[in-house]
Chain A
Amino acid sequence: MLQQDIIAVAMSGGVDSSTVAAMLVHSGESVVGLTLQLWDQTRLAGKHGIPEAPKAGRCCSLDDVYDARRVAEHLGIPYYVVNQQARFEQDVVRPFVDEYLAGRTPIPCSLCNNHLKFDQLLNTARSIGASRIATGHYAVNEYDSERQRWILKRPADLAKDQTYFLFGLTQAQLAHTLFPLGNLTKTETREIARQHGLALAEKPDSQEICFIPGGDYKQFLTAYLEEQGRPMPDSAGELVSSSGAVIGKHDGISNFTVGQRKGLGIASPSPLYVLGIDPASHRVTVGVETELATRTLRAGKLNWISIPELTASMRVRIKIRHRHEPALATLEPVGPDSGEVVAIFDEPQRAVTPGQSAVFYDGNEVVGGGWIV
């Protein structure tokens, strides 16, 4: 039956997902456009310095929904906005807030991919009779019949590589997902958008965290906690040097992230950086840049893609933040039931930050990944 062949395209109102929809329609597929309504951009507007009118380019702003709808109309496909606000708040926003309060530096986009884009969206897609979803991520997924596994690979345009945010995809999710932009550069994507007459071909890329309009996460934390009737926990404490000497005080650990240089309020002959945050004692350790470098990393809540699980040590490259160039390391399993791995880098790496993800690569393949603890 026709309904079985539908592909649901996750449409954000940006160039990439709009182009995906256009490409699939052009190749004769039955396409339904879906936009996930994740966050009400007006909810905290105007509070604690958050801008009144969110700019375009943020997910779920009315302008972006309008743009997505116009593309769907242009392509002549059914289009729906699906309300996932409760789920987004539960699975992305609250963990994001709690991580900061616990002195870590979260990545909401990976949580959103794991819980909303590839879990909930796939469910919704199946509910409406679509067997697969397509997104505008720059990544490649292929089935390797020899290994009998779905493999996730870095895309042709390494500058747009989004595999770092996709390490949590399960085999079942990869099997039902299309990344039609994986072999294109962003320039080529915009050209295809132009060829299909998409008015938003020149729309700028979105950059910041979608639910934080001004990009200032501290404003967001304050406003969100106030709305929830939760007091901002008092996490003020001491600034200490790496030798343990108290060299100052701070107003709260959620103001800091590992590797941060600005806002420490300490005069020093050489620039000081945050080296570590201890949520129990509220101590923030600072030191000079060379002290930021570490050779080891521990990661938990793992997901494996190219291998079923890690049973022996493995040579990989590891990416520890979005703009980080993957660095050579040896990956070691930590006992059978720990659910964690340890990595030893060949060269010390700057600012290994708890809360961020560590994604392991073998060449262009994503071996798997986890969350830095």
Chain B
Amino acid sequence: MLAGTTSNPRIYMDANATTPLLPEVVEAMRPYWMQHFGNASSIHLDGQQARTALDHARQTLAEFFNCHDAEVVFNSGGTEGDNTALFGLLHPGDHLITTSIEHSAILQSATRLAQFGVQTTFVAPQPSGLIDPVDILRAVRPETRLISVMLANNETGVLQPVEQIGKIAADTGIFFHIDAVQGAGKVKFDVRRFGCHLLSISAHKMHGPKGVGAMFVRRGTPLESMLVGGSHERRRRAGTENIAGIVGLAKAAELAMHSLEDGVLIRLAALRDQMEKDLLRLHGTGLNGALPDGRPAPRVANTTNIWFDDLDGEALVIALDLKGIAVSGGSACHSGATEPSHVLMAMGLDKARARASLRFSLLKTVSRAEIDRVLEVVPAAVQQLRTLSPVAAGTLG
């Protein structure tokens, strides 16, 4: 018997990395691989069947975003949305305001754009992980063309005050993009209320398929397309539409809208809070993303990020994996090794504590039994690592 295959079924607590497809999503997609395989640009009936599916999905996403059908652009996911927002709007001499806790799809785009004469201000978060809108306002310059801020942070789940930032954007006449990848399915979307011109999501973070996403592009926004070729998506994104993927995204969005209203998130938050409270009872732990009074900052229902002093977080992730529990710590570097989270470092954690932090991100389907099992396994693993850890033995500087 192989290590890592224990008699207990695996417990997946890394929903912010990705989620499994729901059965309804798989079923919705199924006809579009072999039966209705047409190209939505074709004139004939086969093409029209694909076009119908595409139009229908667009209508669902418009409802999801609270926008017009014509304001929905399908793409390949969050990275493409983030890249498009920045590369499609910014020109040499322009200024961008974003934050130091964004996803690398934003941060690396800003780095690349610097080579073309686009300057960026990276606004740092409060220690709680919250961006202060005043800091955004302070960063505004005459040449500022775009503000890009995430809706929910992937590491801490902290929800950013996008509505206030949207008002700043409106008052100053600056375009506003929201990377909403980690908010999809966890927060009710309303692009009018958010006050954004652009908003990006990815299907696979909300039980849809990987490799497909969507962007809200407010009418009149002069966004240049990144991919050129055919006139797909009203010339905003060339390339034959991934019909099955788009249908899957739409089904996932539809299910997410239901779950925002049926109490699933309330139950999820209660289970998360219970688990978090018990884990924080362990000696030498703390919550990443707490306000000065100790309460958690406003956040999505499924995420908690906890530091465990005197141990190596990377070893804890592996130890838990071998015991059948999937969690995450930091971000994977090119080789697959773990780097300390840039988000936690930006919030003021030192490298050791950032390395010793774990993110638990729960699926909506999480059970009470799974929480109980985690509360049994994690404290024991933490205890074992602290006994053995070179960090605890003081051999690491």
Which A residues have a C-beta under 8 Å from some C-beta of B?
Answer: 2-3, 6, 30-32, 35, 37, 40, 42, 60, 62, 65, 69, 76-78, 80-83, 85, 87, 90, 119-120, 123-124, 126-129
Contact = CB atoms under 8 A, between A and B. Distances in A.
B4 interface: yes
Nearest to B312: A127
18 contacts: A2-B6, A6-B3, A32-B4, A37-B337, A40-B334, A62-B335, A69-B336, A76-B2, A80-B336, A81-B336, A83-B339, A90-B397, A123-B390, A124-B315, A127-B385, A128-B315, A128-B318, A129-B323
Interface in B363-397: 384-385, 388-390, 396-397
Interface residues of B, number: 29
Contacts of B162: none
Contact of B337 (A6, A81, A90, A127): A81
A120 B336 CA distance: 18
A106 to B, nearest CB: 21
A30 B2 contact: yes
Contact of A30 (B3, B311, B315, B385): B3
B132 interface: no
B388 A126 contact: yes
Given A65-B335, A65-B336, A127-B384, A80 B318 contact: yes
A166 B1 CA distance: 32
B314 interface: yes
Interface string B1-29: 11110100000000000000000000000
Q: Which 7 pairs show the lowest CB-CB distances between chains A and B?
A: A83-B337, A37-B337, A127-B315, A30-B3, A81-B336, A81-B337, A78-B4
A89 to B, nearest CB: 11
A78 B333 contact: no
B314 A3 contact: no
B3 A77 contact: yes
A42 B1 CA distance: 39
Nearest to B332: A81
B351 to A, nearest CB: 8
Interface string B136-156: 000000000000000000000
A118 B20 CA distance: 39
Contacts of A40: 333-334
Contacts of B316: 127
A83 B318 CA distance: 12
Contacts of A119: 390
B3 A3 contact: yes
B321 interface: yes
Contacts of B389: 123, 127
B96 interface: no
Interface string B283-320: 00000000000000000000000000001101110110
A31 B337 contact: no
A88 B337 CA distance: 14
Q: Is the interface of B mostly helix, strand, loop or mixed?
A: loop
Contact of B319 (A60, A120, A129): A129
A302 B314 CA distance: 33
A171 to B, nearest CB: 18
Q: Is the interface of A mostly helix, strand, loop or mixed?
A: mixed
A30 B2 CA distance: 5
A302 B318 CA distance: 35
A40 B339 CA distance: 12
B335, B388, B396, B397, most chain A CB atoms within 10 A? B335
B332 to A, nearest CB: 9
Contact of A129 (B322, B334, B339, B397): B322
Interface in B325-343: 333-339
B319 A2 contact: no
Contacts of A129: 3, 319, 322-323, 384
Contacts of B396: 87
A62 B334 contact: yes
Nearest to A6: B3
B387 to A, nearest CB: 9
B6, B311, B322, most chain A CB atoms within 10 A? B322
Given A30-B3, A31-B3, A37 B333 contact: yes
Nearest to B330: A83
A128 B319 contact: yes
A77 B3 CA distance: 7
A80 B3 CA distance: 13
Given A30-B3, A83-B339, A127 B333 contact: no
Nearest to A80: B318
A366 B3 CA distance: 34
Nearest to B397: A90
A229 to B, nearest CB: 19
A272 B86 CA distance: 63
Given A78-B322, A129-B319, A2 B335 contact: no
A80 B396 CA distance: 21
A83 B333 contact: yes
Nearest to B3: A30
A85 B322 CA distance: 23
Interface string B157-170: 00000000000000
Contacts of A78: 2-4, 321-322
A93 to B, nearest CB: 14
Contacts of B390: 119-120, 123
Contacts of B4: 32, 78
Contacts of B3: 2-3, 6, 30-32, 77-78, 129
